[in-house]
Amino acid sequence: MDLDRPIPASAPIRQPSESALVVRRLLSRIGFYLFVVIVGAYFALPMVWLVFAPFDAHPTLTAAPPSAFTLGNFPDLLKDPYALPSLVNSVILAVATMVLVVAAAAPAAYALSRVRIPGRDLLLYVLLLFSSVVTGTAAMVPLFLLVFDLGLINTQVGVVLVLAGGLIPAGIFILKDFVDSMPKSYEESARVFGASSFQILRDIVLPYARPGLAVIAVWVVVNVWSNFLIPFILLRDPGQLPAAVVVYNFYTEGGQANLRLLSSFGLLYSIPVVAMYLFVNRRYGFRFYGGIKG
């Protein structure tokens, strides 16, 4: 308290500049909050629409509480023969790709982190570069031909292989970061006790990198869940299409969106991803890892 005393003594001299300072600070605070509100609203409005529109008998593109509340949109949606199976298809694709990516990326990341080979980093960067090409539009024709030659057109195996191929390099890249952060002495002490490489991977590296594996798993699922192009091109049979493709069924032939079905389907489509995020977040707790947030 005694420390406060000298301030009133000098206050009369500083009075005008201090009040100006307060005003300026207040204004900048207001400006900042305004900015946050605008940015927040930009992202929040579609969500609000997604929550309200499915329960509206006559939804429009405005985000407003339902004018005529109904649950009837959902039974109507289930009448569509492809709506529900498409969600199941999405789950199959996402889970299969996730398992494949994690199973391939984890040992690869461990090996690349621990084994010193010339050009290791270059290899990693080239893989990463190609992977963005693989799932990109540019490689669509060769990819189609490749999958066709393999006889995997119109199979979910083909889609899973292509998606996994595109995601594995980035998965290795992210996981390698986790493994790099593990002290070498962990493995060395296990080696001194006679543990084999497999035992070290199973008992020490994988449990240590578990948050990283969770990040990869969620990231793969989200990627596959929202991927439209690859299943759209590689699958012919409408019964096999995932939700991201089927969502385009809810347009009339004239190109008009059926907002009742589209919004209800959109809600069903987003719930699994949100639920998974909440579950994994609770279980492992997402933190910032090597600049990548899960």
Partner 1 sequence: MADLEIRGLTKVFPGGVRALDELSLHIEDGEFFALLGPSGCGKTTLLRSIAGLETPNSGKILIGGRDVTRLPPGARDLAMVFQDYALYPHMTVADNIAYPLKVRGVGRKERRDTAESVGRSLQIQGAMLDRRPGQLSGGQQQRVALARSIAYRPHVFLFDEPLSNLDARLRLEARTFLKQLQRDLGVTTVYVTHDQAEALALADRMAVMEQGRIRQLDTPSNCFLRPANIFVAGFIGSTPMNLLPATVQDGGLDVAGRKLLIPDAIRAQAKVGDAVILGARPEYVSVSATELPDSLGGIVRVLENLGVDSLVTVEVGDLLVKATVPEERVPAVGDQVWLQPAQGRLLVYRQDDGEQVGAPPVAPIEAPALAPQAG
Give the residues lining the site for partner 1 (CB under 8 A).
183, 185-186, 188-195, 199, 203-204, 207-208, 210
Nearer to partner 1, 5 or 116 (CB): 116
Cβ proximity to partner 1: between 15 and 199 the closer is: 199
Write down the least CB distance from residue 187 to partner 1, Å. 9
Tell me whether residue 232 or residue 284 sits nearer to partner 1 (CB atom): 284
CB of 181 to partner 1, least distance (A): 12
Least distance to partner 1, CB of residue 108, Å: 22
Q: Which is nearer to partner 1, 18 or 180 (CB)?
A: 180
Q: Which is nearer to partner 1, 10 or 185 (CB)?
A: 185
The rounded distance, in Å, linking the Cα atoms of 193 and 171 is: 31
Q: Smallest gap, in angstroms, from Cβ of residue 183 to partner 1? A: 6
Kindly state the smallest distance separating residue 199's Cβ from partner 1, in Å.
Answer: 6
Contacts of 188 (CB under 8 A, 6+ apart): none
Closest distance to partner 1 from the beta carbon of 110 (Å): 16
Cross-strand pairs, 257: 251
CA dist 276 and 286 (Å) reads 12
Q: Would you say 92 or 206 has its CB closer to partner 1?
A: 206
